[in-house]
Amino acid sequence: MKKSFLSALAVMAVSMTSAQVTINIDANDKGPQVSPVHYGIFYEDINHAADGGLYAELIRNRSFEDGSMQRHRRATPRKPISAPIEAWNTVGNSSMALVTEGLLNEAQHNALAVTITKAGDGIQNEGFWGINAVKGETYKLSFWAKSTQGYEGTLTALLQTEGGQSCAAKVTIPVRLTDKWQKFTAEMKVDETNPKEHFELLADKAGSFEVDVVSLFPPTFKNRPNGMRRDLAQMLEAMHPRFMRFPGGCFVEGQGSPDNAFRWKRTIGPIEERPGHLNVNWGYRTSDGIGFHEYLQLAEDIGAKPLFVVNVGIWHGGCDPYEQIQSWVQECLDALEYANGDTSTHYGALRAKNGHPEPFGLEYIEIGNENYNFHMDDNSDQSDHYPERYIQFYQAIKAKYPYVKCIGNVESWGTDSPTWRNNYPVDLVDEHYYRNPKWFADRFHKYDSYERGTHQVYVGEYAVTSQFGDLGNLNAALGEAVYMMGMENNSDVVVMNSYAPIFVNENDARWRPDMIRFNAHQVMGTPSYYVQQLFSNNIGTQVVKTDYTYQLPEVKATTDKRPDHVGLASWGTTVHYKDAQLLVNGKEVSISDFGKWTTSSGEWKAQQGEFVQTSTAEPAMTLAPTDIKATKYSFRVKAMKESGDEGFMVVVGYKDKNVYQWYNVAGWGNTQSNVEQANGGGRMQLASAKRMKVENGRWYDLQVDVDGDNIKCSIDGESDFDVKLQNSMMSGVYASTTFDEKSNEMIVKVVNVGAATAPATINLANFQAKSARLIRLSSASGEDENSLDNPTRIAPVTEDLKVKKQDKVTFQVQPYSVNIIRIAQ
C-alpha cells in the first residue's frame, strides 16, 4: 500500500451500489442484565474545571495565594511582597502588596495590604478571564478586612467594564475597621448583562487596610452555598450520571510533594479555613473551594453515586515507603467516616456541622490512580509496590465498611489488555484508554471474551485523544459510541465507565479534547458529550442479542500527495542538534544550514554548526527547507540535551501541524521512547513504549528511516523501533439493543462510522411495535465539530418513525451517525 495520510484533508469518493442495513432482534434472546451504574462521569480538577469552572466563585485568587507556583507560607515575614498579584490590580493611585503576618488564620498564607491616597481609589479583580454579570440576578459578596490604623468610611463594590464605561452592579458597605479581622457581606443586584466585567472595591477616603478571602457568588446550582455554576452543573445533570468519580486523575496524586496532592481534610469547612494547594499536575493553584463535602453534595444533587479516588502514598515524582502508609490508609478511612458515619462519630458529626446530617452513602473507593504500571522498582511511573499498598487499603476498608466496593488500578498505558497481576481480592479494576477513533470502533467485541468470574471492570477513563480535530470531532464520538455499545453488551463484566476529562476553560486548556468547553459565559458540549448524554439517557435494563448485516456503498480515500518535510523538536527542554543529514532514495540532500530552517515554535538558534533550542515550549519545532517527494528517505542527526524535562524528537512525514510523525526519545518526563503519529488532532503512539532516559551533556546519534508507511528508528546505531503508520479511516455499521423493563421499550442503537448512507430495517420477533422514535446525532462530515459560537451544530435531533407493521421498523442510516431507536409496544 502506498503511504496515505487519511486526515482532515482526505477526500472521500463514494461509489453507489445497493445498500441495506438489516437488524434482527428477538425479544426472547436475552443477554445479561444491564449494569445499573452505566453510565457515569469522571470529574477531575484539570483545565480550570473547578476554580474558573464548575465552582461558581467569580473572584480569581480570592485569598491572594495564587501566582508563583513556588510561593510558600510566610516566605518573607514582615516584608510586603510587591510582585504582580495574580488577577488583582490597583484602581487610581492606590498601592497594594501581599503581607504574610497578622493573617486571618493558619490556613491563610497571605493577605492584601491596600493603601489609598484619595477617595475613589481601590483594587480590582479581573475574575476568571472576565466576570459574567447577568441582569436581574443577585450576587453574594463577602470579604474580610482589618486596619491597624483604624479606618472608618465606606467600601464600594462594583461590577464594571475595564474602563468603567458600563457598570452592571454596585453596592456600598459602611465599614469601621479595627486591628481585628471582620467579615463583611453584601448583596449586589445586577442591572446590566455583560460577560466581561471586572470586580472593584473602592474606598471613599485615604487610608490603609488589609483584605482577604474576597468572594463573590452568583446564584448557584440548586442554590447551594459555596456551590456550582448553574449552566455547567446542568450539563452534568442532563447526562443523568449514575456515579461520579472524583477528584482525579493525576490531581489525586499531586506532583513533587504529598502537599500538592488532594488531601480531603484540608478541603472542608468555611472557605477561609481552606489553605488550597498547588495543582502542579495541571499548572495552577486550586482554592479547594470545591472540597470533599462539595463533591459529595454535587454527586447527590445530580443523582450520582460518589466514587472517591484515594492516594496510596504516591505522588508524581515520589512516594512514601509502602510499609509506612498507615496515615494514608487512615485518611481514607476518615473520609469514609465523614461520608458515611453517623453523627455520633467524629467525622460524621463534622459532616453534620457542615450542613449534611444524613450520610452521603459513599460505596465506591478507588485505591490509587494509575499506580500499577510496570516500574515497581524505581517508581518512575508512580507504581512503587502497588499491590502491597492496595491490600493495606482493601483490608482496612473491608474490615470497617464491608459494603464498599474497592476498585484497583491496572496498567494505564503500554498495553491494550491490562490485567490484575496479583492474587489479592478486588471488586473492580479500572482500565484507561486514550486512543484514536478507529481503535475504539475496532474494539466493539473487546469484552466478549473477557474472563468472567474474578472481578468486574470499570473503564474509568477513555476518550479519543488523537484524530479528534481541534476541540473534539464527530469521528471521535462515533468511535467512542461503538466502544460503549460493546461495554453495554458485556454489562455482566464491564459494569461502569466514564469518559475523561469533562471540563476545559478555553482560556487555560491543558488537555485536549474535553467534552464540555466553556468561558465565563458560554458553554458547549462536543459530539462526545452528546454521545455520553444520549447513551446514558437511552439504556434499558436487559441486553437483547442483536444480529445485523449491512451492505454499504464503497468509500475510497484519496492519498495526501503533499510533500514530506523532516524536522527537529523538543518538549520543555534545551537541546542541541548537529550534523543533520537527509538521504532521499540513497542520495544526500543538503539540509545542514540551520539558518534556512523554519521555526514553527520555540527559540531556535544556529550557532557554531549546532542548532540550539532554549525555550520551554511544548513542543518547540523547526523544519528543514526541503520538500521530499519520494516515499523513501533517511534522516540522521546528533542530539545533546543541556537541561529540561525530556529528551529529543526527530520529525518525519511532516505535512502540516496536524499531520506528521516523530521519534520521541526519552519523552514523558525523560522516562520512555516511542514513535508517535499526529493525524488530524493529537498524537497516537505506534509502538509499546520503551524505557529511556537521556543524560545531559551526552551526544546521541539518532536516525529515522521512512519507507512508505514503514518507519524505523535507531539510536547510537542500535535499532529502537520498527512501526507502521496507522490507516485510520473508519467504515461500517454497528448495532446493539437493550430492553427497558420500566418503559417496556426496545432501545436499538445503530452507529454508522463512515460516509455511506443506507436504508435500515429492524425486524422484530416476540415484540409488537406500536410506535418508534429516532434520536440521531449526525453531520455531513466526521470531522465536523461544535464551537462556543455554534454549540449545537452537532446535537441530537428527534423524529417519530412511521410504524407500518408490528414486526418492522425502518429508517435511513445517515453518514457519520449515532441513531437511537426507541420502539414502544
* Identified binder of ligand AHR from the candidate list 250, 477, 624, 777, rule CB under 6 A: 250
Site for ligand AHR in 124-153 (CB under 6 A): none
Nearer to ligand AHR, 350 or 463 (CB): 463
Please report how close the Cβ of residue 44 comes to ligand AHR at its closest, in angstroms. 5
Beta strands in 472-541 (DSSP E): 494-499, 503-505, 516-518, 523-525
Strands (E), 287-391: 305-310, 314-315, 318-319, 364-367
Stretch that binds ligand AHR, among 11-19, 243-251, 556-564, 765-773 (CB under 6 A): 243-251
Nearest to 393, CA basis, from 315, 296, 310: 310
Provide the 3-class DSSP secondary structure of residue 294: helix
Query: What are φ and ψ of residue 573, in 5° steps?
Result: -140, 140
In this structure, what C-alpha cell is assigned to residue 525? 458540549
Give the x-and-dash track for 324-363 against ligand AHR (CB under 6 A): ----------------------------------------
Q: Between 511 and 597, whose beta carbon lies closer to ligand AHR?
A: 511
- Distance in angstroms (rounded) separating the CA atoms of residues 211 and 492: 56
Stretch that binds ligand AHR, among 23-31, 123-131, 194-202, 246-254 (CB under 6 A): 246-254
Pairing mode, if any, of strands 318-319 and 364-367?
A: unpaired
One of 44, 126, 384, 411 touching ligand AHR (CB under 6 A): 44
Q: Which of 328, 503, 511, 668 binds ligand AHR (CB under 6 A)?
A: 511
426 forms bridges with which residues in the sheet? none
d(CA 197, CA 162): 7
Measured from the CB atom, the residue of 248 and 647 that comes closer to ligand AHR is 248
Q: Report the distance separating Cα 443 and Cα 484, nearest Å.
A: 10
What's the Cα-to-Cα distance from 95 to each of 110, 113, 117, 124, 207, rounded to whole Å? 16, 8, 9, 11, 11
- 53 or 249: CB nearest ligand AHR: 249
Beta carbon of residue 471, minimum distance to ligand AHR (angstroms, whole number): 16
Least distance CB 248 / ligand AHR (angstroms): 5
Closer to ligand AHR by Cβ: residue 461 or 564: 461
Contact 813, 757 (CB under 8 A): yes
- 8 A C-beta contact, residue 623 and residue 597: yes
Per CB under 6 A, 369 contacts ligand AHR: yes
Q: Does 314 bind ligand AHR (CB under 6 A)?
A: no
* Number of chain positions touching ligand AHR (CB under 6 A): 11
In the complex, minimum distance from the CB of residue 681 to ligand AHR, in angstroms, rounded to a whole number = 16
Closer residue to ligand AHR in complex, CB, 461/709 = 461
Q: Is 747:538 a contact under the CB 8 Å cutoff?
A: yes
- Residue 545, classified by CB atoms within 10 Å of its CB into exposed (0-12), middle (13-18) or buried (19+), is middle
- 537 exposure class (CB count in 10 Å sphere: 0-12, 13-18, 19+): middle
Q: Is 646 in the site for ligand AHR (CB under 6 A)?
A: no
DSSP secondary structure code for residue 696 in this structure: B
- Residue closest to ligand AHR (Cβ): 249
Residue 313 makes contact with ligand AHR by CB under 6 A? no
In the complex, the smallest distance separating the C-beta of residue 418 from ligand AHR, rounded to whole angstroms, is: 13
DSSP secondary structure letter of residue 49: S
Instruction: Name the minimum Å distance from CB 676 to ligand AHR.
Output: 16
Tell me if residue 251 falls in helix, strand or coil.
helix
Phi, psi at residue 366, to the nearest 5°?
A: -100, 130
* CB 282, min distance to ligand AHR, A: 8
The residue within the footprint of ligand AHR, chosen from 40, 227, 241, 248 (CB under 6 A), is: 248
C-alpha span between 449 and 486 (Å, rounded)? 11
Listing DSSP states for 148-193 in one string gives TT-EEEEEEEEEE-TTSS-EEEEEEEEEEE-SS-EEEEEEEE--S-
CB 500 to ligand AHR: min, Å: 4
Which residue from 40, 67, 249, 313 is in contact with ligand AHR, where contact means CB under 6 A?
Answer: 249
| Residue 500 within binding range of ligand AHR, rule CB under 6 A | yes
**Cβ closest to ligand AHR, residue 108 vs residue 369:** 369
What is the spatial distance between Cα 682 and Cα 680, in angstroms, rounded to a whole number?
Answer: 7
Per the structure block, which three cell numbers stand in for 328? Answer: 494514608
Is 370 an annotated catalytic residue?
yes
Helix (H) or strand (E) holding 531: helix 527-537
Q: Closest Cα to residue 126, out of 522, 520, 508, 518?
A: 520
Q: Which of 390/767 has CB closer to ligand AHR?
A: 390
Interface residue with ligand AHR, options 31, 275, 408, 501 (CB under 6 A): 501
Please tell me the distance from the alpha carbon of residue 515 to that of residue 563, in angstroms, as a whole number.
Answer: 34
Cβ pair 431, 13 in contact under 8 A: no
Cα–Cα distance for residue pair 647/666, rounded to 1 Å: 5
Least distance in Å: CB of 629 to ligand AHR?
Answer: 39
Rounded Cα gap, residues 379 and 389, in angstroms: 13
Q: Which range in 164-172, 242-250, 763-771, 810-818 contacts ligand AHR by CB under 6 A?
A: 242-250
The smaller minimum CB distance to ligand AHR, of residues 218 and 313, is found at 313
CB of 403 to ligand AHR, least distance (A): 26
Binding segment toward ligand AHR, per CB under 6 A, in 244-252, 371-379, 478-486, 710-718: 244-252
Of 124-132, 223-231, 248-256, 610-618, which part binds ligand AHR (CB under 6 A)? 248-256
Length reported for the chain: 825
Interface with ligand AHR, residue 619, by CB under 6 A:
no
Q: Which is nearer to ligand AHR, 272 or 461 (CB)?
A: 461
List the catalytic residue out of 44, 200, 363, 370. Answer: 370
Q: Can you count the helices (H) and strands (E) in the chain?
A: 10, 53
Should residue 370 be labelled a site residue for ligand AHR when binding is judged by CB under 6 A?
Answer: yes
Of the pair 249, 527, the CB lying nearest ligand AHR is at 249
Is residue 127 within 8 A of residue 198, CB to CB? The reply is yes
Closest distance to ligand AHR from the beta carbon of 571 (Å): 17
Q: Per rule CB under 6 A, is residue 644 in the interface with ligand AHR? A: no
Cα–Cα distances in Å, from 395 out to 322, 330, 342, 406, 804?
15, 12, 22, 10, 59
Nearer to ligand AHR, 123 or 502 (CB): 502
461 binds ligand AHR (CB under 6 A): yes
Binding site for ligand AHR (CB under 6 A): 44, 46, 248-250, 369-370, 461, 500-501, 511
Catalytically active residues, by annotation: 370
